[in-house]
Amino acid sequence: MPLEQSEAFILRTFNIGEQDKIVVFFSKEKGIMKGTAKGARKFGNRFGSSLEPLSWVRVFYYEKEKKDLVTVSNCDIIESFFELQEDLKVNFTLCYFAELIEEFSPIQAKEDILFRLLASMLQALKSRGDIDFLTAYFEAWILKINGFLPDLKSCIKCHKDITDFGWLSPKKDGIYCDQCASYKKEKSLPAMANFLQWAKKNPPIKEKKPPISQEEIKGIRKTLEDIIVFHLEREPKSLAYLK
């Protein structure tokens, strides 16, 4: 059983037995992994604060054959984001990011882009970037990485460019213009296409002021969240705290 290691983000932990924790982490090499951290609840244990959610760490572990759970032997902090958690809204947002990653990512699949996305999101939040704008950015990218982000620029029926607003299709695979839509429940704002264009080309901003209005961000998030809920077939638990 060789000792393996990987850069990772801690997504969540839960208690097991008397003194142990199960750690769900998102590793750079193998995506989502789960492991036992023995003695992690003992006073003065070797893990210290390295298992706090969303810590960026180097995790050392043993993989057992035919077992889903690895054994976490040690964990060193690369960068912590503890101070972000003091703000309740940021804290819930981080839970939401972690939940989406866990829900959308298959166990033990390498996901480089997602790993870099999460790292840049945390750093942008640390630099006090606009939280709602950054959440919309994260939602757009996690959908894009998973192939669930439809073209929201033109009507899927008549292919006309949508310059004012469109209606999200029932299957969330595109938008209809006002003339073609028969299902008019979920409106997609004109700012959406520009936002997606921008998000594909630019890193998450670190300036406090986003390039679009709060009202537009709200509308964009509503559409992206409708698509997320459709594909997960349920509303993410942590999203309820952000409403």
What's the token pair of residue 5?
């290691």
When asked if residue 153 is in the footprint of Zn ion (CB under 5 A), the reply is no
Q: Considering only 4-12, 89-97, 114-122, 147-155, which stretch makes contact with Zn ion by CB under 5 A?
A: 147-155
Report which of 143, 78, 149 is spatially closest to residue 117, judged by C-alpha positions: 143
Q: Considering only 149-157, 196-204, 218-226, 231-239, which stretch makes contact with Zn ion by CB under 5 A?
A: 149-157
Cβ proximity to Zn ion: between 49 and 163 the closer is: 163
> Of the candidates 122, 155, 189, 220, which one interacts with Zn ion according to CB under 5 A?
155
How far is the C-alpha of 239 from the C-alpha of 235, rounded, in Å?
7
Q: Which amino acid is located at 134 in the chain?
A: L
Cβ proximity to Zn ion: between 104 and 176 the closer is: 176
Cβ proximity to Zn ion: between 78 and 158 the closer is: 158
Map residues 170-199 to x or -, x wherever contact with Zn ion holds by CB under 5 A. -------x--x-------------------
DSSP label of 64 = P
Least distance from C-beta 154 to Zn ion, angstroms? 8
When asked if residue 22 is in the footprint of Zn ion (CB under 5 A), the reply is no
Query: What's the order of all strands across the beta sheet hosting 166-168?
Result: 175-176, 166-168, 187-188
When asked if residue 158 is in the footprint of Zn ion (CB under 5 A), the reply is yes
What residues are paired with 24 via a beta bridge?
12, 34
What's the token pair of residue 33?
């992994």
When asked if residue 157 is in the footprint of Zn ion (CB under 5 A), the reply is yes
Give the angle subtended at the CA of 179 by the CAs of 173 and 182, to the nearest 5°: 55
Q: Which amino acid is located at 131 in the chain?
A: I
Residues that bind Zn ion (CB under 5 A): 155, 157-158, 177, 180
